Amino acid sequence: MVDWQELTDLTRGQPFVVERVRLVDSGVAIEGQFEPPQLARLSVEDQVFVAAFMRSHGSIKEMERIFGVSYPTIKSRLNRIAEQLDFVDADPAPPSADVLERLRRGEIGVEEALAELERSR
């Protein structure tokens, strides 16, 4: 069985699609086109780095100790990895109709309404 590390090495950072998945316990196989998770698309080294960051509970000081590098080096690598990942917007902009209704009722001012409408573009 090929693990993610071997698959990542084989693909060398090129995009790939998984076309067959087999459930180990039942032997059921599913075919189609499945995009691998974002973290699986990172290089093996970056996957190890992210795992270490999680195990250190996000402590950059601990990461400095583990990898023997400086704070700026850790921050730079985190920033580089973050650029490769899509993030879910935890504070999505409200629909335009909601903003306008809140403005009409006087719950927000014109400036705030404009800012919210701008964010929703």
Considering the chain, tell me which residue range(s) the CATH 1.10.10 domain(s) occupy.
4-83
Please give the mean pLDDT across all residues of the chain: 86
Q: The tokens of 1 are what?
A: 């069985």
Q: Which pLDDT score, from 0 to 100, does residue 91 have?
A: 60
pLDDT-above-90 percentage for the chain: 38
pTM for the predicted model, two decimal places: 0.58
Asked if 116 and 94 count as a contact pair (C-beta separation under 8 A), the reply is: yes
Average pLDDT over residues 112-121: 83
Which pairing describes strands 18-22 and 29-34: parallel, antiparallel, or unpaired?
antiparallel
Residue 121 has pLDDT above 80, yes or no: no
Secondary-structure percent of the chain, ordered helix, strand, coil, rounded to 5: 55, 10, 40
Q: Which pLDDT score, from 0 to 100, does residue 56 have?
A: 96
Instruction: Write out pLDDT tens, residues 45-83.
Output: 899 999 999 999 999 999 999 999 999 999 999 999 998
CATH number of 4-83: 1.10.10
Q: Which pLDDT score, from 0 to 100, does residue 93 have?
A: 60
Between CA 82 and CA 62 the distance in angstroms is 19
